[in-house]
Amino acid sequence: MGEQQYNYLIVGAGLFGAVFAYRARKAGKRCLVIDKRSQLGGNIYCENIEGINVHKFGAHIFHTSNKQVWDFVNSIVEFNRYTNSPVANYRGKLYNLPFNMNTFYQMWSVKSPAEAMAKLEEQRAKAKALLEKAGVVEPRNLEEQALLLIGEDIYETLIKGYTEKQWGRKCTELPAFIIKRLPVRMVFDNNYFDDDYQGIPIGGYNKLIDGLLEDTEVCLKTDFFEDRDRLTAIAEKIVFTGAIDEFYNYRYGPLQYRTVSFETTIEDTTNFQGNAVVNYTEREIPFTRIIEHKHFEMFGATLESCSKTVISKEYSAEWKLGMEPYYPVNDERNNNLAEKYRVLAAKEKNVIFGGRLAEYKYYDMAPIVEKVLQMEI
């Protein structure tokens, strides 16, 4: 790198950094992208195993109703027609998600929207009566909120165990606002997203990142914090996508996250579970879900032509310093702490903070792209 000068030093080669670098290059700016990992793409990186693009850091499904965003990513790499239709496994019985007429038929054997709605209203009324009897005016925790929204049967079967594994806390200890609403669809439709567009890049997410970073200088295995002064000096501005509390050397203390680990295995079968995503909702099973990666990109004859498959069991855990942070813990303590760091960030003249770690905010992929497309560069 020497004494070369750049308009932007982009810390992190994930989606935010890659889209920013692409736009900056198109605007005639010179960028250097660095990442402490040995590969590009951040958490959307895919590893090819047995001819299958394995989502190494969890399932990523691109979905949006913003045509500008959809057209933009498709201008880099064509996306396929994958439709997200997860299945829940509770004690060996399967239920379709999101909650729709298939789910209600599987749960109660109801066959019409009127029958399903009557059952839901009956369960909601029961939950409301119990809370009123206990003198509860407003739901005090996630469990009470969920019971009012969806009733006991679905809550106990499809929400409680999964949520407690995901957050590492009992639902009675989680704030009610985590479940502000639950989608209920009175149609036989297993499409999880309401968005107009969804899919997976044909050939995997690496093709998207490679296309975005084409002709941009990149240095991998480069930790910003190990050489901060020199790296800061070689660019006019920094685009920082790492953890905001680390940027400020944990001045107010570390923010908390949930983290995820994966147990990935090659299975000697063409089709392990018949679906890309199967959630395991009972508390006693330690993993939250199994991802079968080939279903994201292989369909019909192509699926059967690949003699093996790759699955990943996903385990949620409490994050500690040194582990990979995944999901912000949006409780009062962490939100207040994050706001203190955001106040510091707002005062920076030559640093742009972007992405889930830099903003301490959960993002899907499309809103990240949309945000960068709207930025002045």
What would the 3-class secondary structure string for 31-82 be?
EEEECCCCCCCHHHCEEEECCEEEECCCCCCEEECCHHHHHHHHHHCCECCC
Catalytic residue annotation: 181, 185, 258, 289, 314, 362, 364
Least confident range from 59-63, 64-68, 195-199, 297-301: namely 297-301
- Residues 6 or more apart whose CB falls under 8 angstroms from that of 268 comprise 307, 308
Q: Indicate whether 2 pLDDT > 60.
A: no
**pLDDT exceeds cutoff 80 at 43:** yes
pLDDT score, position 3: 62
Residues shown for the chain: 377
Task: Kindly report the three-state secondary structure assignment for every residue of 120-176.
Answer: HHHHHHHHHHHHHHCCCCCCCCHHHHHHHHHCHHHHHHHHHHHHHHHHCCCHHHCCH
Where do the CATH 3.40.50.720 domains begin and end in the chain?
6-81+197-253+328-373
The residues that bridge with 291 in the sheet, in sequence order, are 277, 312
**4: confidence class by pLDDT, cuts 50, 70, 90:** low
Helix then strand count (H, E) for the chain reads 14, 16
Cis preceding-peptide flag for 183 (omega within 30 of 0): no
pLDDT in tens, 148-162: 999 999 999 999 999
Can you give the pTM of this predicted structure? Answer: 0.93
Q: Average pLDDT in the 83-104 region? A: 98
- Cβ–Cβ < 8 Å for 276, 293: yes
162-173 mean pLDDT: 94
Q: What pLDDT sits at residue 237?
A: 97
| More confident site: 2 or 357 | 357
What amino acid occupies position 301?
Answer: A
Considering Cα of 346, then 350, then 355, then 360, what sign does the dihedral take? Answer: negative
Write down the residue that tokens 């809370």 correspond to: 131
The rounded distance, in Å, linking the Cα atoms of 70 and 366 is 8
CA angle 317, 369, 190 (to 5 degrees): 65
What pLDDT shows up at residue 90? Answer: 98
Backbone angles phi, psi at 227, to 5 degrees: -145, 45
Tens digits of per-residue pLDDT, 255-278?
Answer: 999 999 999 999 999 999 999 999
CATH number of 6-81+197-253+328-373: 3.40.50.720
Question: Is 143's pLDDT higher than 80?
Answer: yes
**pLDDT tens-digit readout, 297-306:** 999 989 999 9
